[in-house]
Amino acid sequence: MKLTKLQNKTLQQLHSFRSKPPTVGRQLSLNWFAWLALLFVVVLGCLVFLMPGFETVGWLWIGIAVGAFLRDIGRFRATVRVWPIYQEIINWPKVAELLDVQQIPEAQRKS
């Protein structure tokens, strides 16, 4: 099975969570790039807020970014709470097999 980059990354994260269960902080650090985009929107919102007549638009952008951040924190907290169930039902040998297959070059798989 040929995995996409996203699928491969997801399996790698699951595999790492097997030995060291997820925490909110760890999930935040794994998604640092998303926080840069949200920070950019907040800074832009602050700049727009300072422009006369555009205060409402600035608050809107700030609110959207803060809401997205809080939504993600909620999802991370939910993942931490339900992780014991996932750990029991995930087919760990299959995860390891898929990751191993991805690391074997295509030319070697055909021989």
- State the pTM of this model: 0.76
Burial code of 42-79, b = ≥16 C-beta within 10 A, e = fewer? beebeebbeeeeeeeebeebbeebeeebeebeeebeeb
Which pLDDT score is estimated for 102? 66
Total domain count, the chain: 1
68-76 average pLDDT score: 95
* Mean pLDDT to the nearest integer, 106-110: 47
Residue 111 falls inside a structural domain: no
Does residue 1 have a pLDDT over 80? no
Q: How far apart are CA 46 and CA 36, in angstroms?
A: 15
In a domain, 96, yes or no: yes
Residue 55 lies in a domain: yes
Q: Could you tell me the pLDDT band of residue 109, with boundaries at 50, 70 and 90? A: very low
Q: What residues make up the domain containing 12?
A: 5-104
What's the pLDDT at 110? Answer: 47
- Taking 70 as the threshold, does the pLDDT of residue 44 lie above it? yes
